[in-house]
């Protein structure tokens, strides 16, 4: 699945939700989600966490998020929130003041490179939730 050159502007839910296998999201514009004149959240990409009986474990396999622009929003939450097996987050511009900008849950084989973020001094850019719910934080460049 290729999502290329689209503009996701002022939607009322996640712009892209629960990718399957081999999705490439590249060259898109994501603006914070809202209802009426109130910004609710960012969520360029969001995925079910699979932590309840109603939501089985779910992963995005071979997920690519490349060369996208995420900004113009004061909503809460991260821009990317997912569980990836074989993911590539590369060459994006992510702007915001909330932390973290990227949340990875139960993720393996995923790299983040060349993704610039403009956040206030002292804010975290990414959070990895490890098994057991502990939260690990990294600076603005990583390889996971």
What are residue 45's phi and psi, to 5 degrees?
-140, 135
CA distances from residue 90 to 13, 39, 93, 111 in whole angstroms, order as listed: 24, 26, 9, 8
**39 Cβ contact partners less than 8 Å away, ≥ 6 residues apart:** 32, 33, 73, 74, 75
57 or 119: which carries more pLDDT confidence?
Answer: 57
CA–CA gap between residue 58 and residue 48 (Å, rounded): 7
Could you tell me the pLDDT band of residue 143, with boundaries at 50, 70 and 90? very low
Domain around 105: 2-143
- Contacts with 53 (C-beta within 8 Å, 6 or more apart), sequence order: none
Tally of structural domains, the chain: 1
pLDDT recorded at residue 133: 39
Vertex 58: Cα angle to 143 and 44 (nearest 5): 60
CB 87 within 8 A of CB 126: no
Distance CA 80, CA 22 (A): 17
Which pLDDT band holds residue 100 (cuts at 50, 70, 90)?
confident
At 35 the pLDDT is 67
What share of the chain has pLDDT > 90, as a percent? 22
Q: What is the mean pLDDT of residues 58-78?
A: 84
The average pLDDT across 115-134 equals 51
Bridge partners of residue 70, in order along the sequence: 30, 94
Are the CB atoms for 30 and 65 separated by under 8 Å? no
Mean pLDDT on 22-49: 83
pLDDT at position 61 is 92
Question: In the predicted model, is pLDDT for residue 48 greater than 70?
Answer: yes
Cα(97)–Cα(30) distance, integer angstroms: 15
């Amino acid at each position: 699945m290729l999502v290329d050159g689209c503009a996701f502007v002022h939607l009322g839910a996640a712009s892209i939700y629960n990718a399957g296998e081999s999705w490439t999201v590249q060259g898109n514009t994501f603006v914070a989600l809202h209802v009426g004149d109130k910004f609710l959240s960012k969520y360029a990409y969001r995925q079910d966490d699979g932590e309840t009986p109603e939501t089985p474990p779910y992963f995005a396999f071979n997920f690519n998020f490349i060369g996208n622009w995420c900004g113009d929003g004061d909503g809460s939450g991260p821009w990317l929130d997912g569980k990836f097996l074989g993911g590539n987050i590369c060459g994006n511009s992510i702007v915001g003041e909330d932390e973290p900008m990227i949340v990875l849950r139960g993720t393996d084989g995923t790299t983040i490179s060349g993704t610039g973020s403009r956040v206030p001094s002292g804010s975290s850019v990414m959070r990895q939730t490890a098994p057991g719910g502990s939260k690990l934080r990294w600076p603005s460049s990583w390889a996971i």
